[in-house]
Amino acid sequence: MKCSLIASCMILALLVPGKASSSPDSTYEKLDVFAQVLQYIQNGYVDEVKNPELLHGAIRGMLKELDPHSVFMSPEEFKSMQEDTSGAFGGVGLEMERRDDELIVVAPIDDTPAHRAGILSGDRIVKIDGQAVDKMDVGAASRLIKGTPGTKVVLTIDRVEFEQPKDFVLIRQRIRLNPIDKSMPMPGYALIRIKVFTERTERYLKEALVELRKKAGGEIKGLVLDLRNNPGGLLEQAVRVGDLFIADGVIVETRGRARKTEKEYAHKRGTEPAYPMVCLVNGGSASASEIVAGALQDHNRSLIMGVRTFGKGSVQTIIGLKDGSGLKLTIARYYTPNHRSIQEKGIAPDVVVPKTLPSGDSEIHITREADLEGHLTNESKADVSRRKLEAISDYQLRTALVYLRAWERFGRGAKEAKTKP
């Protein structure tokens, strides 16, 4: 038992090459102590415990001595993480959240089993396959709902109009999530929200840009790239997204152990036209989204707007272990093209815009012609763009669109006026 335990522990020690901080003899002595404690627990603890749980717990404790992003994952957690980064999994197509100690459906994904069964936004999930969810977090509930395509899962749903909770029998299917939301809030002005950086983010982003360009009549006047509440994801995808908007130069630099440095560069081929851009960020923008925002800022490709980002300036690698579990290990720090480390500091926006209009800044009502009884109406054609802009309740997005419109009028317009004879 002792030999197998030492071998298992040494797998972790050998994953990342480099000079050990202590002598081999000292390491083996500590492992002997660990094996001795394990033996005492196995033979003398008041209740019988399982070896895998003890070993996994020991590994978790070891990684807690490093940093918050170096973690051990059980086989179930590792499988779930792999599905999240691939953007595809077996499930029923539900987005959920914990709200007031209840598991609430945020929205069913279009054309999925949940959507076709009639599950609605705001529904309360009471049970999953007969198991109560009152003390279950979203991650645990998600793992219960996910499964092999073609298998059955029963969700007990409560809704205001139901006399009592109702069972929905759903057959899981292969769900492929689209990490991109796209729209055109004003004629010619595109909005793209990147929710997370999965294996297909770049691909879906390219498709969204093509569709929006057609909708705009062949040319996008301006783009709002929304990275708010994007927790990050795959470094490779962050580099590819940055490459779409930056023609040349460094996108990101990573520095690992012993100052080992690697740089990722932009390529001119396939770069988007130089239309004006505003990139929205907030405290939920982390990791890969900060890489994109930092590159756009340092290359002066986009105005960064919103509030300071999360400040996760480290890179993790994912390692699969022999028993199906996994290790997420911090291996490097990353730097923006101008050699800025954002660890702890985050990306400071060029223009600070809070989530909502600051109190006291609302417009004071003044009686105008339009308020007078019997006033003459304006016969001119209404400004469609302005009406759509005023209808947007998202203060940060509305401010971003105001900046883009101003650039078109005073930036491009001024340049064109100077070129006229």
Q: Could you give the number of structural domains in the chain?
A: 2
Domain boundary among 122, 147, 176: 176
| Per annotation, catalytic residue among 298, 302, 314, 325 | 298
pLDDT, residue 17, reads 40
| Per annotation, catalytic residue among 195, 312, 314, 325 | 312
Q: At what angle do helices 75-86 and 138-145 cross, to 10 degrees?
A: 80
Count of beta carbons in the 10 Å neighbourhood of residue 32: 13
Residue type present at position 392: I
- Report which DSSP code applies to 277: E
Each residue's pLDDT tens digit, 104-140: 987 787 788 999 999 998 899 999 999 999 888 887 8
- Structural domain boundaries, residue 111: 88-176
Is residue 328 flagged as an active site residue?
no
Residues 169 and 185 in one domain: no
Residue 331 lies in a domain: yes
pLDDT, residue 9, reads 34
* Distance (Å) of CA 310 to CA 141, 224, 227: 27, 20, 12
Is residue 287 flagged as an active site residue?
yes
Residues 191 and 171 in one domain: no
C-alpha–C-alpha distance, residues 244 and 269, integer Å: 9
Is residue 298 flagged as an active site residue?
yes
Residues 143 and 188 in one domain: no
Residues 195 and 171 in one domain: no
Is the pLDDT at 5 greater than 70? The verdict is no
Instruction: Tell me the two tokens of residue 157.
Output: 């749903």
3 falls in which pLDDT band (50, 70, 90)? Answer: very low
Is the pLDDT at 414 greater than 80? The verdict is no
Average pLDDT on 90-95 reads 86
Give the residue with greater pLDDT, 10 vs 340.
Answer: 340
Average pLDDT on 208-234 reads 93
C-alpha–C-alpha distance, residues 154 and 76, integer Å: 20
pTM of the model: 0.75
**Strands of 222-226's sheet in order across:** 180-186, 189-194, 222-226, 277-281, 303-306, 351-352
| Per annotation, catalytic residue among 287, 289, 302, 325 | 287
Residue 304 parent element (H or E): strand 303-306
Q: Which residues have C-beta within 8 Å of that of residue 153, sequence separation ≥ 6?
A: 92, 128, 129, 144, 145, 147, 170, 172
CATH code of residue 95: 2.30.42.10
Each residue's pLDDT tens digit, 376-402: 776 665 566 777 887 888 999 999 999
Each residue's pLDDT tens digit, 155-187: 999 999 999 999 999 999 988 878 899 999 999
As a three-state string, the secondary structure of 87-152 is: CEEEECCEEEEEECCEEEEEEECCCCHHHHHCCCCCCEEEEECCEECCCCCHHHHHHHHCCCCCCE
pLDDT, residue 419, reads 44
Strand pairing class (222-226; 189-194):
parallel
Is the pLDDT at 86 greater than 80? The verdict is no
Residues 156 and 279 in one domain: no
pLDDT, residue 20, reads 47
